[in-house]
Amino acid sequence: MLELVFAAALIAAPVQDDEEPPCSSYGTDDTLSIGAAVAPARPGGELSLHANEALHGMVAVPLKCFSRWTSSDPAVTIDAERGKIVIAPEATPGRDVEITGTVGDRTVRTRFRIAPAEGPVLTGFWSQESVDCHGPVPRDPLRELRFSSDGKFAVTFVPFEVRQDYWGAVEFDPAARRIGFVVERGNTVPTHLMLEGQARVEGENRLFLDGVYFGGLDVPPPAEGCRYVFRKR
């Protein structure tokens, strides 16, 4: 009887195909992409490197399938075996770096900017910890505030795949603790935005913004804006 049950279980179980596709199956269309982790690229540090293919970049491409890597900056190299972008201590802060990778006859690229060796850097993904608007608060927390190394930002209240609510450019002066956002485009851009205020980074993972408003209230925001606290993911 036990033998019959075991045999039935083997028949019912789906067959798992764990065999990795050959490298020749990648890079056959224009959905191939590479990217660096959205994190501070400090001199002497490293960034994770990834490659994706297919709609929304949902299929990981093994880095071993790339036949060639290049860097526009000799102080930045690629360690494909470890999946890392290696930034030498002598790398110049503020310099833009382009990384290219080649699979077959297709070459793709990604860019990032070298961060200061020390001091606060916004680059990364931040999630709202709290908000105080001196009265009513936004109905949804700001779940994703993204800062790119090249001075761009994106706001997304409810992240879903690659969708973002609105995005643009940001300027941050850590010495003066001032921050300013300029919205360039968006899928959903709230009214009454307040995009200039004070900013302070505490340690490496907490961000305090005062006098700004990113949307979400059913009424206009107070004249003094809101106070947000974010934690880096």
Domain 124-232 is of which CATH architecture? Answer: Beta Barrel (2.40)
2 CB burial (10 A radius; 0-12, 13-18, 19+):
exposed
Q: pLDDT category, 29, cuts 50, 70, 90?
A: confident
CB–CB of 88/75 below 8 Å?
yes
Helix (H, G, I), strand (E, B) or coil at 106: strand
C-alpha–C-alpha distance, residues 188 and 217, integer Å? 14
What CATH number does the domain located at 26-113 have?
A: 2.60.40.1080
Average pLDDT, rounded, for the chain = 91
CB–CB of 91/69 below 8 Å?
no
pTM (2 d.p.):
0.86
Q: Tell me the residue type at 127.
A: S
In this predicted structure, what is the pLDDT of residue 1?
A: 47
Domain with CATH 2.60.40.1080 in the chain: 26-113
In this predicted structure, what is the pLDDT of residue 19?
A: 74
C-alpha–C-alpha distance, residues 38 and 21, integer Å? 28
In this predicted structure, what is the pLDDT of residue 15?
A: 40
C-alpha–C-alpha distance, residues 87 and 49, integer Å? 12
Residue length, the chain? 233
User: In sequence order, what are the beta bridge partners of 97?
Assistant: 112
User: In sequence order, what are the beta bridge partners of 49?
Assistant: 36
Domain with CATH 2.40.128 in the chain: 124-232
Helix (H, G, I), strand (E, B) or coil at 202: strand
Per the model's pLDDT, the better-predicted residue between 10 and 88 turns out to be: 88
Share of the chain above pLDDT 90, in %: 82
Among 130, 115, 140, CA closest to 231: 130
Does 28 have pLDDT greater than 90? Answer: no
What burial letters (b/e) apply to 40-54, b meaning 16+ CB within 10 Å? bbbbebbbebebbbe
Tens of pLDDT along 145-178?
999 999 999 999 999 888 999 999 999 999 999 9
Q: pLDDT category, 55, cuts 50, 70, 90?
A: low
C-alpha–C-alpha distance, residues 208 and 217, integer Å? 19
C-alpha–C-alpha distance, residues 80 and 38, integer Å? 18
